[in-house]
């Protein structure tokens, strides 16, 4: 079992800790479901910012998943992304997430995304490692009976 991490609650027992500089990549092709919903009247069909952020966040998650115990997962706590350039339907996008630092169960990532021509986005993302059962208990307390 790896180092025990705490954040004022029950310890987090990750198998190992990703080190600063460790990175992950994720590639996708812009499909119809990923384009802006206002591509009409001369507005070109381009990658929507929420979808870009989704892929960038999942790239950071990909970097940390091998370090987690089966009882652990991650939740995002901060997204600060600048969408720099449009990407048309059908183009490939490569996302990269690099660990910058960690503080207890929280990890800070540098995110970048490139289409086939240029850098299209960059920014920062924080993930917290959480215990799934404890998290499910918190959610259950907020769930209204049907």
Task: Give residue-wise pLDDT tens across range 22-55.
Answer: 999 999 999 999 999 999 999 999 999 999 999 9
61 CB-side CA count, 13 A:
14
pTM over 0.75: yes
pLDDT computed for residue 10 by the predictor:
54
Mean pLDDT of the chain, nearest integer: 92
For strands 23-29 and 92-103, give the pairing: antiparallel
Give the whole-angstrom CA distance, residue 61 versus residue 99.
11
Lookup result for tokens 């307390």: 141
**Residue 98 near residue 23 (C-beta atoms within 8 A):** yes
pLDDT computed for residue 1 by the predictor:
44
**Residue 86 near residue 116 (C-beta atoms within 8 A):** no
């Amino acid at each position: 079992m790896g180092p025990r991490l705490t954040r004022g609650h029950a310890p987090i027992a990750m198998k190992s800790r990703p080190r600063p500089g460790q990175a992950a990549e994720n590639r996708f092709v812009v499909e119809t479901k990923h384009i802006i919903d206002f591509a009409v009247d001369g507005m070109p069909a381009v990658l929507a910012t929420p979808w870009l952020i989704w892929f960038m966040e999942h790239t950071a998650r990909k970097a940390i998943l091998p370090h987690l115990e089966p009882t652990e997962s991650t939740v995002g706590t901060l997204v600060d992304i600048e969408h720099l350039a449009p990407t048309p339907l059908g183009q490939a996008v490569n996302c990269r997430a690099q660990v910058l630092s960690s503080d207890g169960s929280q990890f800070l990532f540098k995110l970048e995304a490139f289409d086939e021509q240029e850098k299209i986005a960059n920014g920062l993302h924080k993930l917290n490692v959480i215990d799934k059962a404890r998290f499910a208990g918190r959610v259950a307390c907020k769930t209204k009976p049907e």
